[in-house]
Amino acid sequence: MDNMTNDSCKKCGSPLLGRIDKQFCDAYCRNAFNNNVKRTEEKEIIAINSKLRKNRRILKTLSPVGKSTVRKEVMIAMGYDFNIFSSMYRASKNNIYYLCYEYGFSPIVNSRGVEKAVIINKQSYMGDWKPWKYVHA
């Protein structure tokens, strides 16, 4: 018995033959359709990952030997987005590093009020971030 459906392929619109619950005419259309859905659903994730990679590239450029101090304006001029980071490391009560993968920065203000950033490479002792460690009821 030939199980013909009245439906058409979700991707190309070709008539479907075979199982009654078939949605695509072939593997190409199924993969193309699902890749497009995934791309749409993950657009925000892709944008954030792109910004993280850009921030990491900027930090790596500004700190080629492991540690450096630069003015905030330099980072801004290079397109750094201070709202995007992959993790945090609290070195002390008032010293937090905002990391983009293995590179990070800690904001500082010098005695003349100039905003700067201490840029570092992540160290092995910087392991796990424990956000509740510093919360007091």
**CA-CA-CA-CA torsion for 120, 130, 96, 92, nearest 10 degrees?**
-100
More confident residue, 19 or 127: 19
pTM of the model: 0.67
What local confidence, expressed as pLDDT, does residue 38 receive? Answer: 83
Structure-token pair, residue 28:
């190409």
Tens of pLDDT, residue by residue over 66-77, are 899 999 999 999
**pLDDT tens readout for residues 33-87:** 998 888 877 888 888 999 999 999 999 999 988 899 999 999 999 999 999 999 8
Boundaries of every domain in the chain: 4-41, 46-134
